Amino acid sequence: MASETSLNKSLTLGHVVFLGLAWMTPMIYFTVYGIAYQASEGNLTQAYFLSFVAIFFTAFSYGVMSRTFPASGSAYTYSAQSLHPRIGFLVGWALQLDYLFSPLIACLTFGIYLHEQFPAVPSSVFIVALVLILGVVNALGVDFSARLSK
């Protein structure tokens, strides 16, 4: 009675690129630029280039791991199968916390910055609106999100 479940691969490379650009890029300008410029003491281009190098090697490693373990695209699976299941367990929990706190921090920061731009509107209104919008988009599914982003 055991049935095998698999994921439907419906996104193209273009969808993934547009999703990344549409959902991540606008938030960077609100939450990072000024802080990063100040923290890098004016060397933001060099800091971004160094980050690019690290991200490039991470992406390359994910490509290698996805060919080695094609059943999943998850850091949990990669670390559990290549290192040790307990390390995979820790990586899985770290990712779960990241998936919980990253959107929370982004919504809070976005709301605070928009409140500074529009002081008549409380930051809580922006925060709740963003959470609702993102919740609806996520509930409609990744295919809808990809089409919306494009």
pLDDT per residue, tens digit, the chain (150 aa), is 567 777 677 778 888 787 777 766 666 665 677 777 888 898 988 988 998 999 899 889 888 888 888 777 788 888 888 899 999 999 999 989 988 887 888 888 888 888 999 999 999 999 999 999 888 887 888 778 777 777
Q: How far apart are CA 148 and CA 25, in angstroms?
A: 15
Q: Do both 54 and 84 map to the same domain?
A: no
CA 69, 72, 77, 79 dihedral sign is: positive
Q: Do both 99 and 128 map to the same domain?
A: yes
The DSSP letter of residue 41 is: T
Q: Do both 92 and 145 map to the same domain?
A: yes
Q: Do both 123 and 54 map to the same domain?
A: no
Q: Do both 54 and 79 map to the same domain?
A: no
Global confidence as pTM: 0.60
Count of the separate structural domains present in the chain: 2
Residue 61 lies in a domain: yes
Q: How far apart are CA 74 and CA 142, in angstroms?
A: 17
Report phi then psi at 94, rounded to 5: -60, -40
Contact 36, 44 (CB under 8 A): yes
